[in-house]
Every structure is written in C-alpha cells, then in structure tokens.
A = this chain, B = another copy of it.
Amino acid sequence: MPTLTATARRNEARETYNAFLATCPAHQLLARISDKWVSLVLSALSNGPMRYSDLSRKIAGASQKMLTQTLRTLERDGLVSREVTPSVPVRVDYALTELGASLMPVIRAVKDWSERNITSVLAARQSYDLGATSR
C-alpha cells in the first residue's frame, strides 16, 4: 500500500521538522517578540521603568490577563526585570534589562522597514484584491 507509506513518511518528516523548529533559536525568539503585546510592552519600557498600572493605562488595548502574562514571559526570558515594593498597597516596577535593551534596535529595524514600505504593501493588496473581483 504505497499511499500509506507515503503518508507515514510525510508525518515523520513533519515531526522531524517540527522538532528541529522547536530547538531553533531564531524561531523561538521570533515567536517571542512577535507576540501581539511584546513589542508594545518593550517599547513602552524603553523610555524608562514603569509601574504595572502605568503600563496598563499606556497599553489600553491589553486585558489585565494578557499584560500580566506578557510581563511574566518577558521576565522569565530575562528581557525585563520585576521589582516588588511590599508597601500597602503593593507597588510593582518593571524595567528593561540590558538584554531587553539590546533587543530594541532589532525592533526598531522592523518598525523602520514597516514605515518605509507600508505604502507599497497597501498598494500591492489593493491591486491584488482588484484582480480578484474582476476575475
């Protein structure tokens, strides 16, 4: 049954490939920084440390849950630091670590490319969509 073996081989190839992807540094980190809220949080913190509530106000689109979750993963990855002041009420300050700061130029590069080329992309989309309707 050649069909079965072909399918089996495809599955095996996929597994192998995905295992490779899981250990690929570039891909892991791309996945991190491309998270919907990560770039916004890092950008906000690039101007200096902020309290949780400040971030919450600044990044109004994020739910509490997403903001906390994002900050946790960033802390875990050593990109931001978290300092708790056990006063009443509690105060928590977040700041970019050195590692986090070193990532900013990369984020800026993405941003720069985007702003330079967004018009081309938008034009391409319009032209593509036009072709679709006339078909």
Contacts and interface: CB of A to CB of B under 8 A. Distances in A.
Interface of A: 10, 13-14, 16-18, 20-21, 25-31, 33-36, 39, 59-61, 75-79, 99, 102-103, 106, 109-111, 113-115, 117-118, 120-121, 123-125, 127-129
Nearest to A32: B121
A120 to B, nearest CB: 5
A112 to B, nearest CB: 8
Contacts of A99: 117, 120-121, 124
A123 B30 CA distance: 18
B124 A61 contact: no
B25 A61 contact: no
